[in-house]
Amino acid sequence: MQMIERFLLGGVIVSLFAALGDVLRPRSFAGLFGAAPSVAMATLTLTLLDEGKDYAALEARSMVVGSIAFLLYVLACIRLMVKWRTPAAPTTVAMLFVWGISALGLWWLLLSNL
């Protein structure tokens, strides 16, 4: 039941932010909503209800590291698409490994010993 709630809330919030990105112009402004805290809003809301504030604050601390990885991910995508002219769809999917490696690397550097 909890998984269904999580799925529905995540789906609704992500869809709302994505729709905002669709209707706003210019394109670079709409792009801001590609990095909206949609998953964070859904997850933190449910975490606060189930696990409490301390647990949610720990997740948010890691989220800061995940955001830096997100920045590195989009910069890598821009670099590939503009400089090497790679198509957008495979580039944005393939570069998710940059997010994964950056997030885990930064976690290891900054958070693993805390």
Partner 1 sequence: MKIEFNRASLRQLKLHDYLTRFVLGGAITVATGLIAKHYGPVIGGLFLAFPAIFPSGATLIEKHELDKKLRAGIPFTVRGRLAVALDARGAAMGAVALAAFGLIIWRFLAHHNAAVMLGLALAVWLALAVLIWRVHKLHIYLSFRR
Residues 3-32 that bind partner 1 (CB under 8 A): 3, 6-15, 17-19, 21-32
* Rounded-to-integer distance, Cα 108 and Cα 44, Å: 23
∠40-43-46 over CA atoms, to 5°? Answer: 140
- Minimal distance in Å, beta carbon 57 to partner 1? 5
Contact map string, positions 78 to 107, toward partner 1, x by CB under 8 A: x--xx--xxxxx-xxx--x--x---xx--x
Pair 70, 33: CB distance under 8 Å:
no
Q: Determine, following the binding rule CB under 8 A, whether residue 109 of this chain makes contact with partner 1.
A: no
